[in-house]
Structure 1
């Protein structure tokens, strides 16, 4: 993910649509760099909107080859602004994923299996967390489901099979082929053409589910704005709520692929009633172990209690 001005609100607010449970945690990490990335994304988008880039990008994102010269000059000129923050954040996400793997592996959350959900760089954190767990003995039974949305990671099926080995339930890849921003930031930071957040993963396994989110999101910035609708689309229980109005995004066809089979579901909300919500989240921090945990890595609880103890 990325941050705007109200960073802690954005760490938490995105996930307020999750159904109530006793333990829900938000991973807070590298606020400084994510804030810089947020500013850079806003800057690049302002270039795209203020020029004819939007029309040109419609053709660019449909191309199977990502050639630099096809990008609008106005957007390319803003590349220097975003490339460095994006590169830093992608590396920090790898480090955060390995530290999260340490926390889960030592069962600081208790001995109950957990479900990991993340979008954008948060999905990258999860990917490398699972990758780290797959290298360790006795790591089975820690992860129940893993849901990666708009993930800026490889779409190589062999690597997904590797991380899938430690997932007992569903391994979900939510993607949108029209996500031009993800294509753009990946144009120089990686030579990979097969990006998970843009295409389905070709891994034929009962656990693997590819969900085409194109009916809900039209670009990378929509993941944060439409998370409630996305969660329902990928089969995560949510509670209906409205903070000034709810978009009826779910009344669209969502394509879910399971292995080589595909199933089409029609999602729709049964009620438009507004439900008032109170943010009851409290900040908790990981108890430090022998391996140093950066000061900027923390877990925030959104339940009434949790296995991790609070620190002032």
Structure 2
């Protein structure tokens, strides 16, 4: 199975009305046997099966779950399956997970719900509601953060922001993919937000502080050379975050109203010092 496959199984059959409301929210296009959804030039395709009508799909479910679900009854009760196939770009995987989480919100969570992602593994019920990205290809249960997950988020942010810098400096621009980059940066800033919470929750700020400073320097460097202001646009929907989450307020950083001192660990806004 391709690493970009996301497969969701559940014990209940969704009502047509509930499913159509979700599809409408995602502006899904009916493709007869599936639905296609697009956001910022990233696509996901969704197929919905009632397993009692599809022995082959049920066999796939049993094969996936045999080493992961201890209670055999859980595997035999499952009635419904969603196969979500994102296109092979980073944003589509973020997009697909947001669709899975939305489907999960309308389910009876007292019944079994399973989510399998080839690159990340197998998740069930409450885990699904707590999934966050640790890089652009894998996600994890945010309740069980550890040093390895923080390292993965740091590595991802470093690589992706560095890639953005190279795109501008070496290739001369965004290759007409501005919408995709805005969406990517928005998701990277969400990961930067997670990082702030995670490092404090595992009480290991000293271990990661230097690496986080390096990431923040890269963000500010990219801001300086980003003539298209894609990083600024990425924060448009999240200006209500506290000012010390300065990555959402790069419009004010660019204008000089908000001054970021990453090495010292604070920002200055309207004459006030606020710790990061």
Same fold (TM over 0.5): no
Larger RCO (alpha carbons 8 Å, 6+ apart): 1
Counting helix residues as a fraction of each chain, which structure ranks higher?
2
State which structure, 1 or 2, has the greater radius of gyration over its C-alpha atoms.
2
TM score, norm. by length of structure 1: 0.27
Larger strand fraction of residues: 2
**Structure 2-normalised TM-score?**
0.29
